[in-house]
């Protein structure tokens, strides 16, 4: 019997890629998703990739009765990977209460059910956003929380605090993974990032501009203290990120955690500027697209990249895929989207500007 793992938000960008890694690593995912930022078509494509059906339930974490019933119907849940959350920095500034409801109170609902049903642990989707603009780079897990520049970032800081308290001297254990910038797509080209409406993140905006869906990319600032003046981030292939979740889950289920609450930076340890990403995308895919330098985006930090020593030494995990592969798979996914090979979503694929 494969260990049954509850994957909340399992049809989302990172959740769907992790479902594939889980299935290929001997686990049985139990996928729940409220489809607020995904669609059924992702489930069908996951089953195509894996060559097997998956258990899926359309449930909102804030629906306490439905969530309670889920744990009654699935008494054998061995672990939980919690992705379900709202994650658009800009939207969180406009709708902070939505973010506190979806990212904080929903987490508490889930933790109460985990405790009541004696599920041993959780892998939590945290973010490098908790660091704000670090004083030193590369940033290590020992560094304190910074000024999270948005309600989204604050919900991740609060979430980690809740989990640290929920796991202190109890049987419940947690591993929080602080993601850097996930980009790219599964090699099949059948799943990838498909943000609702106009993308706020860099890479989907690049691919949609290259595809002619956006007039041009605006590069937010070139007056930062970096080699070419544009901001630096630690971009990580989403499949490497998915593998990190399986490594953390295995560590937890095998009882290898040294303490009940562990945190790991999940990045590559290397930073790239926006212009370096644009160069890599155009070189790898043999395509150019229009962009212009504009003012900085409010709330953006200048540079961040991870110290990945802990993940390497303790999780025995390292990112393997290159920036070129990230750019290649991101473009392949965009092309498949355009060719209608990937989705039967009811929502319009792209909001016109
Ligand atoms: C990257 C760089 C922009 C868009 C994201 C998520 C956050 C967290 C970390 C998971 C920045 C520049 C962007 C554009 C641009 N992930 N940019 N033009 O802000 O680092 O945060 O990753 O928790 O949730 O939001 O990512 O892709 O928005 O920006 O120049 O149209 O690209 O200024 O330097 P960010 P991003």
Chain segment 231-271, per-residue pLDDT in tens: 999 999 999 999 999 999 999 999 999 999 999 999 999 99
Is any ligand 1 atom within 6 A of the Cβ of residue 274? Answer: yes
Find the mean pLDDT for residues 279-287: 98
Find the mean pLDDT for residues 108-123: 95
Domains of the chain: 4-339 (3.40.50.720)
Is any ligand 1 atom within 6 A of the Cβ of residue 296? Answer: no
| pLDDT score, position 85 | 95
Q: Sort strands 291-294 and 77-82 into parallel, antiparallel or unpaired.
A: unpaired
Q: Please state, rounded to an integer, the average pLDDT across all residues of the chain.
A: 94
| pLDDT score, position 91 | 87
Q: Which ligand 1 atom is the nearest neighbour of the CA of 304?
A: 20
Phi-psi region of 140 (alpha: psi -120 to 50; beta: other; left: phi over 0): beta
Find the mean pLDDT for residues 115-122: 94
Whether the CA torsion 140, 145, 146, 148 is positive or negative: it is: positive
Find the mean pLDDT for residues 117-125: 95
Contact 260, 174 (CB under 8 A): yes
Residue identifier of the C-alpha nearest atom 36 of ligand 1 = 201
- Rounded to whole angstroms, the Cα distance separating 220 from 225 reads 14
In a mutational test of the pocket of ligand 1, which residue from 92, 103, 202 has the highest number of ligand atoms less than 8 Å from its CB? 202
Find the mean pLDDT for residues 38-54: 95
Is any ligand 1 atom within 6 A of the Cβ of residue 277? Answer: no
Q: Which of 27, 99, 152, 179 is catalytic?
A: 152
| pLDDT score, position 352 | 36
* pLDDT band, very low/low/confident/very high, at 342 (cuts 50, 70, 90): low
Q: How far, in Å, is the centroid of ligand 1 from the Cα of 142? A: 23
* pLDDT band, very low/low/confident/very high, at 31 (cuts 50, 70, 90): very high
Find the mean pLDDT for residues 51-62: 96
| pLDDT score, position 343 | 52
Q: How far, in Å, is the centroid of ligand 1 from the Cα of 240? A: 19
Residue 170: pLDDT over 80: no
Find the mean pLDDT for residues 291-310: 96
Residue identifier of the C-alpha nearest atom 24 of ligand 1 = 87
Find the mean pLDDT for residues 56-71: 96
Residue identifier of the C-alpha nearest atom 28 of ligand 1 = 201
Helix-strand-coil split of the chain, %, nearest 5: 40, 20, 45
* pLDDT band, very low/low/confident/very high, at 186 (cuts 50, 70, 90): very high
Find the mean pLDDT for residues 22-41: 96
| pLDDT score, position 344 | 44
| pLDDT score, position 168 | 87
| pLDDT score, position 148 | 87
| pLDDT score, position 347 | 41
Residue 74 a catalytic site member: no
As given in the structure block, the two tokens for residue 327 are 């750019």
Contact 76, 70 (CB under 8 A): no
Whether the CA torsion 230, 231, 232, 238 is positive or negative: it is: negative
Residue 351: pLDDT over 70: no
Q: Which residues contact residue 7 at a Cβ distance below 8 angstroms, ignoring those fewer than 6 apart? A: 15, 18, 19, 22, 29, 30, 31, 32, 80, 81, 83
Least confident of 69-78, 83-92, 216-225: 83-92
- Rounded to whole angstroms, the Cα distance separating 147 from 170 reads 30
- For 188-212, write each residue's pLDDT tens digit: 999 999 888 899 999 999 999 999 9
- Rounded to whole angstroms, the Cα distance separating 124 from 33 reads 16
Q: Which ligand 1 atom is the nearest neighbour of the CA of 232?
A: 34
Residue 345: pLDDT over 50: no
């Amino acid at each position: 019997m494969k260990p049954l793992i509850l994957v909340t938000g399992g049809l989302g960008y990172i959740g769907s890629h992790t479902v594939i890694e889980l299935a290929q690593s001997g686990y049985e995912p139990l996928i729940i998703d409220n489809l607020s930022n995904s669609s059924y078509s992702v489930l069908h494509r996951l089953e195509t990739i894996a060559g097997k059906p998956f258990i899926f339930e359309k449930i909102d974490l804030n629906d306490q009765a439905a969530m309670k019933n889920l744990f009654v119907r699935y008494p054998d849940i061995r672990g939980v990977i919690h992705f379900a959350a709202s994650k658009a920095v800009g939207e969180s500034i406009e709708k902070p209460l939505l973010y506190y409801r979806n990212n904080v109170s929903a987490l508490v609902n889930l933790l109460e059910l985990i405790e009541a049903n004696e599920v041993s642990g959780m892998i939590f989707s945290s973010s490098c956003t908790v660091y704000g603009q670090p004083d030193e780079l590369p940033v290590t897990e020992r560094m304190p929380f910074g000024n999270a520049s948005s309600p989204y970032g604050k919900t991740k800081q609060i979430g980690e605090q809740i989990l640290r308290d929920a796991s202190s001297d109890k049987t419940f254990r947690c591993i929080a993974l602080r993601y850097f910038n996930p980009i790219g797509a599964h090699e099949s080209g059948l799943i990838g990032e498909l943000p609702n409406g106009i993308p706020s993140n860099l890479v989907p905006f690049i691919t949609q501009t290259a595809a002619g869906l956006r007039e041009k990319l605006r590069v937010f600032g070139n007056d930062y203290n970096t080699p070419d003046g544009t901001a630096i981030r630690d971009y990580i292939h989403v499949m490497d990120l998915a593998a990190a979740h399986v490594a953390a889950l295995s560590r937890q289920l095998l009882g290898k955690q040294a303490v009940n609450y562990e945190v790991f930076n999940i990045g590559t340890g290397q930073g790239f500027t926006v212009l370096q990403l644009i160069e890599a995308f155009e070189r790898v895919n043999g395509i150019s697209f229009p962009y212009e330098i504009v003012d900085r985006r409010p709330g953006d930090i200048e540079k961040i990249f991870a110290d990945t020593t802990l993940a390497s030494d303790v999780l025995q995990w390292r990112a393997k895929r290159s920036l070129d592969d990230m750019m290649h798979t991101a473009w392949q996914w965009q092309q498949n989207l355009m060719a209608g090979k990937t989705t039967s979503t009811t929502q319009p694929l792209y909001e016109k500007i």
